[in-house]
Structure 1
Amino acid sequence: MTQGLFDLTGRRVLITGSNGGLGLGIAGGLAALGARVILNGRDEAKLRAAADGLRAAGLVVEEARFDVTVEPEVVAAVERLEADGPIDVLINNAGIQRRVRLDEIGLDVWDEVLRTNLTSAMLVSRQVARAMIARGRGKVVNIGSVMSDLARTTTGAYAAAKGGLKMLTKAMCADWGPLGLQVNAIGPGYFATDMTRPLMENPEFNAWVTGRTPARRWGRPEELVGVAAFLSSSASDFVNGQILYVDGGVTAVL
């Protein structure tokens, strides 16, 4: 009865913002587990390089260049992808961080962060979900953050967006759960990526992260693969509207 619960063989998974960082790490991990991964990004050259890197490792991946914040691009891209076969899983990973104190933030920066981290998840999910609903099945995984629940100075826009994404996950569950979809979220803590390298190389910030995290270290991108695989597989068919934190214990302790 449990055979194949975690099997991703043949499942087609679209991962937004997956031409680098955590998205690329998740993509490589799921592809190695048998999923048919679709990489996404705005930069065509960076997207091709990421895809070629996975192909060189013997993995099968597709590419879909589109801007997740532009509705016509999202609609056209999803229609093209669905014409080649169903999208079984959507992972909304695209996001940016702009570190600025709230009394100093410009509306343009605020809008950019909310549009990229929150509105894009609604746009892509809405389009993909329509086809999933017609089939009566599908999974959406939103990449939140420990800042879906916590905040730190200069992270106001990001925390607002990730907090909104947690509640968007629950709202999607409310709307689409009765129609056969499972919608959940992952809340990463502090992970070592090219984007966070300057923070890791800052002795004061690095000491704060390692001291604040019960695991006493930064996370590794491959440590998100297990929970992403769980939420993308049949093993999570009765899990809905949840956010699973992968943070080395940050959200568990003061």
Structure 2
Amino acid sequence: MKCALVTGGSRGIGSAICQKLATDSAYHILINYQSNESAALETLQKIQANGGSGDIIKFNVADADEVKNALSAWQENNPDAVIEVVVNNAGITRDGLFMWMSADDWSQVINTSLNGFYNVTSFLIQKMLRNRYGRIINIVSVSGVKGTPGQTNYSAAKGAVVAATKALAQEVAKRKITVNAVAPGFIKTDMTGALDENELVKMIPVNRFGEAEEVADLVSFLASKKAGYITGEVININGGIYS
């Protein structure tokens, strides 16, 4: 059984990615979530309704032991399963001006995006190297390439993952493992629900927010065999706001 793991897969962009991978590929989808089990189950039901298969798997990406225990237990219960694709999508924001940013708001954001990338990818990469195949796709942000005021912590975390993407891609390319990053701009999700869309679209050349499904289409392509010669790339999907 060949599988794709999507962290933070229960809602928003993560849920759209889970559904798109299930539709476009034969992968069994592992939907990771931290607290919202009902949203994860809803995503799974949508996958199954379209003829796909999957499991929900609970762990906090920022907790190395939790990641290891959950993935080890799943692997033991599914000895013939191979995780070929990992989408590091889990992330949180704790926005605020840097001068007033608490140590907790800084470290939580870094731990989720950056250490979460390390914890999940380091667990899976040995097997990918042995199998001589893999797709690692990191969901970053326009904040990680352009920098966004009020998001110094989030920009730092995502910018670090951008740099890690470029370095890791060079290390594992000979084993047919690609490592790419996708950097969304303003996408309609719960995370952007509180933003003033009418004001912000004035900054976006295509004059609208993006859809989670549009990000999922790009991720699905990068996860496919067709994208074997693309690695170490950061692909912006932001309506022309920054590239």
Q: Which amino acid aligns with 2:180?
A: N
* Secondary structure, counterpart of 1:185 in structure 2: strand
| Cross-structure match for 1:192 | 188
| Cross-structure match for 2:173 | 177
- The reply to whether residue 37 of structure 1 matches residue 29 of structure 2 is yes
Q: Structure 2 CA distance, aligned partners of 1:82 and 1:172?
A: 24
| Cross-structure match for 2:164 | 168
| Cross-structure match for 2:114 | 118
Q: Which moved more, 1:53-62 or 1:116-125?
A: 53-62
- The reply to whether residue 247 of structure 1 matches residue 243 of structure 2 is no
Contact preservation (8 Å) 2:57, 2:70: yes
Q: Which moved more, 1:221-230 or 1:93-102?
A: 221-230
Q: Structure 1 CA distance, aligned partners of 2:239 and 2:2?
A: 29
Equivalent residues in 2 for 1:1-254, closer than 5 Å: 11-34=2-25, 35-43=27-35, 44-83=37-76, 84=78, 85-199=81-195, 202=196, 206-252=197-243
TM-score, normalisation: structure 1: 0.88
TM-score, normalisation: structure 2: 0.92
- Give the deviation of 1:57 after TM superposition: 4.3
Q: Structure 2 CA distance, aligned partners of 1:210 and 1:102?
A: 25
Q: Which amino acid aligns with 1:36?
A: H
Q: Structure 1 CA distance, aligned partners of 2:118 and 2:93?
A: 18
* Secondary structure, counterpart of 2:146 in structure 1: coil
Q: Which amino acid aligns with 2:65?
A: P
Q: Structure 1 CA distance, aligned partners of 2:86 and 2:56?
A: 14
Q: Which amino acid aligns with 2:9?
A: S
5+ residue gaps, structure 2, are: none
Residues matched between the structures, number = 238
Q: Structure 1 CA distance, aligned partners of 2:224 and 2:192?
A: 29
Identify if the C-alpha distance between structure 1 residues 81 and 237 changes in structure 2 by more than 3 Å, giving closer, same or farther: farther
* Secondary structure, counterpart of 1:174 in structure 2: helix
- Give the deviation of 1:45 after TM superposition: 3.8
Q: Structure 2 CA distance, aligned partners of 1:182 and 1:194?
A: 30
- Give the deviation of 1:240 after TM superposition: 1.0
Name the % identity. 28
- Give the deviation of 1:50 after TM superposition: 3.0
- Give the deviation of 1:147 after TM superposition: 1.2
Q: Structure 2 CA distance, aligned partners of 1:246 and 1:179?
A: 28
Q: Structure 2 CA distance, aligned partners of 1:76 and 1:40?
A: 13
Superposed CA RMSD: 1.6
Q: Which amino acid aligns with 2:12?
A: G
- Give the deviation of 1:239 after TM superposition: 1.1
Q: Deviations over 1:57-78 (max 9, x none)?
A: 4432211111111111111222
5+ residue gaps, structure 1, are: 1-9
Contact preservation (8 Å) 1:15, 1:91: yes
